[in-house]
């Protein structure tokens, strides 16, 4: 059974012309952001490479295949940001519960080249976190 993460988001598209489900496209965008994809074409390529894996796990249905990067971008740009935020806020609890009991590994680094004498500058840091 698949949990609908984006159930609060109304589909702004003309439903007579829709080929890909809104839930699938928004899930792909979320997965792409979490996997550090640089743009919508990267998201489409990553999902295409792992299409069977995503289908088998129940994360994506992809009943009409993987949408192209342009389609992902159009859909993401057309949804209401407030509805998107509300959906993500609702599912945040489920995500946090699924991480409960797992180890979170944190790695941080301070970048070189920052001038420590600049007023208010304490350096620029990069922080990464993984769930193990």
Q: Which of 2, 1, 18, 5 is nearest to 78 (CA)?
A: 18
| 75's tokens | 């859909």
Q: Is 1 helix (H, G, I), strand (E, B) or coil?
A: coil
Question: Phi and psi (nearest 5°) for 35?
Answer: -95, 10
pTM over 0.85: no
Structural domain spans, the chain: 22-99
Tens digit of pLDDT at every position of the chain (132 positions):
456 788 889 999 988 889 999 999 999 999 898 888 999 999 999 999 999 999 998 889 999 999 999 999 999 999 999 999 888 888 777 767 776 777 778 888 877 665 656 666 666 778 888 776
The torsion defined by the Cα of 24, 27, 33 and 36, in degrees rounded to 10, comes to -70
């Amino acid at each position: 059974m698949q949990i609908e993460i984006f159930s609060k988001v109304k589909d702004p598209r003309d439903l007579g012309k829709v080929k890909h489900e809104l839930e699938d496209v928004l899930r792909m965008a979320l997965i792409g952001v979490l996997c550090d994809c640089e743009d919508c074409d990267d998201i489409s390529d990553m999902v295409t490479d792992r299409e069977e894996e995503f289908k088998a796990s129940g994360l994506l249905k992809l009943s009409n295949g993987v949408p192209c990067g342009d389609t992902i971008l159009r859909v993401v740009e057309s949804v209401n940001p407030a509805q998107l935020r509300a959906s993500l806020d609702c599912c945040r609890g489920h995500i946090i519960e699924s991480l409960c009991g797992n180890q979170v590994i944190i790695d941080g680094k301070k970048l070189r080249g920052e001038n420590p004498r600049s007023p208010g500058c304490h350096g620029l840091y990069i922080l990464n976190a993984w769930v193990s």
